[in-house]
Amino acid sequence: MVAPPDNDVLRARALHFSHNGSPALTGVSLGVREGEILAVGGPRGAGKTTLLRCLSGQLLPQQGEVWFNSTPVHTMGALVRERLRRDRFGWIDPEPALVPELNVWENTALPLMLRGTGRRPAKNAAQEWLDRLDVGHLARKRPGALRMAERQRVAIARALVHAPNVVFADEPTATLHRADRAHVLRTLTAAARSHAVTVVLATHDPEVSALADRTVSLLDGRLVTTVPLPAAAPDSEGQAACSLSV
Ligand SMILES: Nc1ncnc2c1ncn2[C@@H]1O[C@H](COP(=O)(O)OP(=O)(O)OP(=O)(O)O)[C@@H](O)[C@H]1O
């Protein structure tokens, strides 16, 4: 087993994964550079979610390798993978999966509290991220009192609060209205860029790909194209400082 190049924070080699015998990934290899925002495109059922779940150590590929920096993820035991996910990765679902009984700041602080951070520092860090994402005023509300776009901002804050190396976002705008979609997406990409967080973003929305540094596409579990975008100008959308203090 040879470790991937130093500048790849994540690398997949010849990944194969089948769900109950039905193939979802058939020989996918790709690298993700540190600080890169990578969009993974492709139609429904192409294997995007399965790829993100393999890269993030939620699923173990039946064949192939996944590396995080110089550490092999595919050979890790379940507990070590759990710790890796908890400490180094953030995850954003298509629908914000917040705990209804906890208020917004408690939801945001969860990744820190799970690592043993004290309540006060965890609350302060959560509040800082909520403020950056323009939902700080909602910190004491329960998720049920928020609009879907506000809840997704809280989910983004929760994915970033513990300073992860990589955030995986699986169709993070799938349930949002068009106007909210662009705003939430710019929020996520601007926040990630300002904190040098690598983002792997599954999407079939072309607007999402436009905010990424690079797009790869899956079709029937295979990688079909790689579209390098021109280097983003400082004032371009991809690096745009939206109206947020991130
Ligand atoms: N839990 C599962 N059990 C059985 N088959 C599954 C399961 N999850 C995914 N699949 C199948 O694996 C293939 C890839 O699914 P995956 O969800 O990774 O694709 P996707 O590109 O993320 O699709 P979508 O855009 O609909 O989320 C599809 O054929 C899907 O039906």
What parts of the chain have a pLDDT lower than 50?
A: 232-246
What local confidence, expressed as pLDDT, does residue 238 receive? 39
Distance 222 CA to ligand 1 centre (A): 13
Please name the residues in contact with 27: beta carbons below 8 A apart, sequence gap of 6 or more: 14, 15, 16, 64, 222
Pocket of ligand 1 (CB under 6 A): 19-20, 22, 24, 42, 44-50, 202, 204
Distance CA 161, CA 156 (A): 9
Nearest CA owner, ligand 1 atom 7:
19
Distance 221 CA to ligand 1 centre (A): 10
What local confidence, expressed as pLDDT, does residue 4 receive? 60
Which token pair is 185?
């997406």
- 226 bridge partner residues: 216
Distance 246 CA to ligand 1 centre (A): 34
Give the ipTM of the model, two decimals please. Answer: 0.95
Helix (H, G, I), strand (E, B), or coil: what is residue 220? coil
Please name the residues in contact with 148: beta carbons below 8 A apart, sequence gap of 6 or more: 95, 96, 175, 176, 180
Nearest CA owner, ligand 1 atom 6:
19
CATH number of the 8-239 domain: 3.40.50.300
User: Pairing between strand 37-41 and 214-219?
Assistant: parallel
Nearest CA owner, ligand 1 atom 17:
49
What local confidence, expressed as pLDDT, does residue 146 receive? 96
Kindly report, residue by residue over 57-76, the tens digit of the pLDDT. 999 999 999 999 989 999 99
Distance 49 CA to ligand 1 centre (A): 7
Give domain limits for the chain: 8-239
C-beta separation of 122 from 102 below 8 A: no
What local confidence, expressed as pLDDT, does residue 2 receive? 63
